[in-house]
Structure 1
């Protein structure tokens, strides 16, 4: 189910859009007939789903585990897994492996076992706990919102002939500017400027600020030695040197008579 956000606006609407597992119980813990969007414990599943994401966002392990268990046992496993997958892109600090764990737990719960039976519920709890223990961050949504607001501000400024209050981090992004190194042989502008493999090897392939490890640096030096360009010693050293942590886009020019 890929559109839970739109469904959330319909809670309480006679339950016509409910997607409870048809094999799930039709009575709650109290033996009462369940509404279409009611969980076994008598809660609204939209509220429990929202609580799940808030709990993992705030690192409340017990509440996250319960909310995942409640959705899984109530026939709303799809809602549970949609929420956890949303969490890993909306509320998780980038680069953490819990995103892969969530996918694996879902595969076990839904492809190998019944998501509502005990093994499926254990997978739900494991996934929720893994998410709650991960480092939460709203960096991706905050960045997305800022970039959208900046785009609107730039468009409005152009229409009125003024200057935007905020701009994209790259500004005008033109050759000769702060991010000049991006215009290499892989771009039309760079090609027209004659920036070939020599420019890319010397400037465009640098990493940082920790730099290459020794093995990777060794390979790069050998590659440059075997290249059809006669690179200078300064160019080779610069190519494997880490970028400046305080000025990541700074690039010197080389004019020592060796190479270009």
Structure 2
């Protein structure tokens, strides 16, 4: 969603003139001419728009349904759908299928039917109810704000010996560090270290913590068997072993280029 679509009032308290033209067709429910930004029910559409997002965020189905209906019938369908699309990325736990439903309802309401019509209003209500029933979370917005704060903190101490007040979760990405496994054939550093297909299959392609299902693990073993790289049985087992839930980046075996796996307790300059 464009940043200017989130704006409401200017610094002087006037309506933001950069927003699309307001719908003033018709009158209010009591027959009076509608003012700029006014809904058919006599409400300020910015207030109703804010109410819609807060209602779906708090899982208040009835209020969300009404706010969507009020915006749709009043000629502010663009505001309704922009707000719902903002919700699915700002206030929704990742992975919720409702994000696809909102897109479908909007297509029906705005491309197949008139968004102010009965069918268009039903789509608005369906979309709002779907959002209100989904699992709300501010995780994406909270993550974005934290990462921006961490970036500023890192920049503030750049060139000094001080540590940043907060840091990125990965700190510095360096070979030999906690995330050493990322330096495989897909990176320049991994190529310089001669970490080719064998390294990637044994270490870089592991998943977790649930691990591969039986069929996927079977295919991985067969692919490795057909490879020009020779793998021992222990290496085949390790390639499909899930990473540890409590330590997803430290491999239980050490590694060094394309060589044979060593015991994790042995010295290994290239290990993690």
Shorter-chain TM-score tier = over 0.9
* Cα pair distance change 1:118/1:161, threshold 3 Å: same
1:81 is matched with 81
**How far apart in 1 are the matches of 2:19 and 2:195?**
58
1:177 is matched with 177
1:244-255 matches, within 5 Å, as 244-251=244-251, 252-253=253-254
TM-score normalised to structure 2 length: 0.89
1:99-248 matches, within 5 Å, as 99-248=99-248
2:40 is matched with 40
Contact 1:108 1:120 in 2 (8 A): yes
CA drift at 1:235: 1.1
Contact 1:18 1:37 in 2 (8 A): no
Contact 1:92 1:136 in 2 (8 A): yes
CA drift at 1:254: 5.3
Q: Deviations over 1:8-62 (max 9, x none)?
A: 12474497855345xx732111101101210000000001000000000000000
CA drift at 1:213: 0.5
Contact 1:28 1:40 in 2 (8 A): yes
Contact 2:5 2:19 in 1 (8 A): no
Contact 2:49 2:80 in 1 (8 A): yes
**How far apart in 2 are the matches of 1:180 and 1:14?**
50
**How far apart in 1 are the matches of 2:34 and 2:16?**
12
2:70 is matched with 70
**How far apart in 2 are the matches of 1:203 and 1:151?**
30
Secondary structure class of the residue paired with 2:222 = helix
* Cα pair distance change 1:151/1:236, threshold 3 Å: same
More helix by share: 1
Contact 1:14 1:36 in 2 (8 A): no
Secondary structure class of the residue paired with 1:158 = coil
TM-score normalised to structure 1 length: 0.93
CA drift at 1:250: 1.5
Unmatched tracts of structure 1, length 5 or more: none
Q: Does 1:19 align with 2:21?
A: yes
Between the two proteins, the alignment pairs up a number of residues equal to: 256
Contact 2:9 2:15 in 1 (8 A): no
CA RMSD of aligned residues (A): 2.0
1:4 is matched with 5
1:59 is matched with 59
